[in-house]
Structure 1
Amino acid sequence: MRPVLELGGTHVTAALADPATATVTRRVRRPLDARGTAEHVLGTVVRCAGDLDAPAGCVWGVAVPGPFDYDKGIARFRGVGKFDDLYGIDVRAVLLDGIWPRPADAVFLNDAHACLLGEWRAGAARDHHRCVGITLGTGVGSAFLVGGDIRHEGTGVPPQGRIDLVEVGGRPLEDSVSRRAVLARYGRGTDRAVDRALDVDRALDVGDVAARARAGERHARDVLDEAFTTLGAVLAPFLRDFDATALVVGGGMAASWDLLRPALRAGLGDTPVTLRAAALGENAALVGAAAHTAAAR
């Protein structure tokens, strides 16, 4: 079993994961404010890891969103709406100094890459030699995989392997497909009374918009259809050029798969790809991080 950490926009999870069997045993989860200070964010991460009580001298695998210098373990977040206060901090050094029992090292990988690696080993991407993974939440993460190896360049791979760098109508993809984009579009289309409620009710999330769509609210359904049809249209040429046989979708918004899938499929058109929701949930990133750690050693 290998100790791993997974950082998200709302939480951090520490666990022991076995990449050989794709199992996760001991697990600790803490809420996390991605807009908080570096002291808050890293303090929460260190405490979560310490609560796991992993054996001393282990190498930890850490799945974290970008932008991030994964080789050096240095945060490069800037202008992405999360973890901005961490810019330039040597996260590896913080973890090695702060976690107790003390680790031997920490290796980092992109959280979307970790998710697809986990799904390829034991989930929705199993038995697919060439596949693509998308994570939908605070932003849009992506991974392009061939035979268990993540590809950062090549035919069908967007710049740096990041679909979020692709533009739609001259604007970043995440202005059309992300938590903030969906909520902003939903708020603009409601009446003024609801707009005021949205300003006050910061707890409103994409799941609430999805619930309203299922209840028959036309505007909510239109907002979701527009976002995910756009995503499908953006992905389609990359999937074809990459010769992917499966597209796996994870992240918080994948919980609304019954609404997301038809719109995404419509946007993909006749692209010959199997469309699947992630099967392992949060375990995917944990297993993927453990697998990456094993390969790195």
Structure 2
Amino acid sequence: MLTPVLEIGGTHVTAALVDTAEPALAHPAHRLALPAQGSADAILTGLAEAASRLTVADGAAWGVAVPGPFDYRRGVGLFEGVGKFDSLHGVDVGAELRTRLPVPPATLDFLNDADAFAIGEYAAGAARGHARAVCVTLGTGVGSAFLDHGVPVGSGPLVPPDGSAHLLAYGGKPLEDTVSRRGIRAAYTRAVAAGPGPVPDVRDIAALARAGDRSARIVLDHAFRALGEALAPWLCAFEATVLVVGGSIAGSWDLVEAPLRVGLAEGPDPRLAHRLPLRTSRRPAEAPLLGAAWWARRGADESGTRTGRWS
């Protein structure tokens, strides 16, 4: 059975049909622009427009990957002051989609976009075969998911609060002040005492580092070592069997891996730096779609209600 999914990003929505038996996309995905700053009706209309591009069977179980803050159990937006989707604050997105989708769904399973990415990598990517996988995405921020046999763990003593690495601190400040597009660009600007004018993006700073720019290399080394130091205690506590790194910054893996391992060696078990497999995403574009479908299919195959299920 093909499972329909929506992946909601900051500026786009992607709709796809996933063959969960493979798992793989059954057809090319449909990606449409989404007015993140628009009205609730405009955003919901955009989601419905993307969904209408799919040919969906009656009674399908849908998977919907959406960034937080969001009440995944109730399907209600909690966005407020985060710069996107503020008009969905308090909106019952599940109820709205149920009336707007071209074919009424049997269920809607909402899950966090970072969790969807990780589950996709667990189902068909770099985390496949690993019982205790930790996946992080590096870009505008630090997304994360701690998976126990493919199921996100968001509470308890073995994971950070909500399973979220972006809530961790480094040097007394939020980790994202150091490890993020914003943090890396700001650090490079300070390092070279840059005046007014365009600030190089991370890919440009990476290119400068490869070309011998010492300041660029120091900035990147510091950022990824900080990531390793912040994650190390939790990777040990969770007894992770793999760390998968995705997101746009992972494209500079040749500059990420070595300082990341140095940071891991600063944790409670220095052997972690050499023992733990580090992998980059194998399905960076498809993973959130595959993960959303896997989660929806899992929910359809189980009885009862679980976190994220809306029916």
TM-score for both structures, normalised by structure 2: 0.85
Question: Once structures 1 and 2 are overlaid, which stretch shifts more, 116-125 or 82-91?
Answer: 82-91
What is the rounded CA distance, in whole Å, between the counterparts of 2:201 and 2:71 in structure 1?
30
Q: Give, as a single letter, the amino acid of the residue that structure 2 aligns with 1:93.
A: A
Task: For residue 124 of structure 1, give the secondary structure of its aligned residue in structure 2.
Answer: coil
Aligned to 1:206: 202
Deviation at 1:34, TM superposition (A): 4.1
Residues 77 and 91 of structure 2 are in contact (CA less than 8 Å); yes or no, is this contact kept in structure 1? yes
Match of 1:17 in 2: 18
**Structure-2 change in CA distance of 1:53 and 1:138 (3 Å):** farther
Partner Cα distance (1:265, 1:226) in 2: 12
Separation of aligned partners in 2, 1:170 and 1:19: 43
Report sequence identity in percent: 50
* Long gaps (5+) in structure 2: 301-311
Aligned to 1:258: 254
Is residue 222 of structure 1 aligned with residue 224 of structure 2? no
Picking from 256, 270, 277, the partner of 2:280 is: 277
Q: What's 2:295 paired with?
A: 292
The aligned counterpart of 1:201 is: none
2:62 aligned with 1:66: no
Corresponding residue for residue 148 of structure 2: 146
1:171 corresponding residue in structure 2:
173
1:83 to 82, 85, 109: 85
The residue number in structure 1 matching 2:133 is: 131
The answer on whether the counterparts of 1:53 and 1:101 sit within 8 Å (CA) in structure 2 is no
Which amino acid letter does the alignment assign opposite residue 233 of structure 1? E
| C-alpha displacement of 1:232 | 0.8
For the aligned residue pairs, the C-alpha RMSD in angstroms reads: 2.2
Partner of 1:4: 5
Contact (CA 8 Å) 2:118, 2:135: kept in 1 or not?
yes
Distance 1:217 1:254 in 2: 20
Deviations 1:200-221 (A, max 9, x none): xxxx643233233333333333
The higher radius of gyration belongs to: 2
Alignment of 1:186 with 2:184, yes or no, is no
For the 8 Å contact 2:181–2:202, the answer to whether it is kept is yes
CA distance in 2, matches of 1:294, 1:147: 15
Contact 2:123 2:294 (C-alpha < 8 Å) held by counterparts: no
Bigger fraction of residues in helix? 1
Query: Deviation string for 1:227-247 (max 9, x for gaps)?
Result: 211111000010011111100
Please state how far the C-alpha of 1:156 moved relative to its aligned partner: 2.2
Query: Is the contact made by 1:156 and 1:237 (CA closer than 8 Å) also made in structure 2?
Result: no
Which residue in the other structure is 1:107 paired with?
Answer: 109
2:232 matched to which residue of 1?
A: 236
Bigger CA drift: 276-285 or 232-241? Answer: 276-285
Separation (CA, whole Å) in 2 of partners of 1:39 and 1:256: 39
Query: Could you say which residue in structure 2 is the equivalent of 1:249?
Result: 245
What TM-score do the two structures reach when normalised by structure 1? 0.89
Decide which moves more: 138-147 or 229-238.
138-147
CA contact (8 A) 2:67 2:112 kept: yes
Cα offset, 1:267, TM superposition:
1.1
Distance in structure 1 (CA, Å) of the matches to 2:213 and 2:26: 41
CA change 1:41–1:19 in 2 (3 A) is same
Task: Report how many aligned residue pairs link the two structures.
Answer: 291
The residue type equivalent to 2:290 in the other structure is V
1:52 aligned counterpart, secondary structure: coil
Q: Which runs of 5+ in 1 are unaligned?
A: 199-203
In 2: Cα distance, 1:98 partner to 1:186 partner? 46
Cα deviation code 1:149-203 (max 9, x no counterpart): 221223421112112112223332222222222233333444545x3223xxxxx
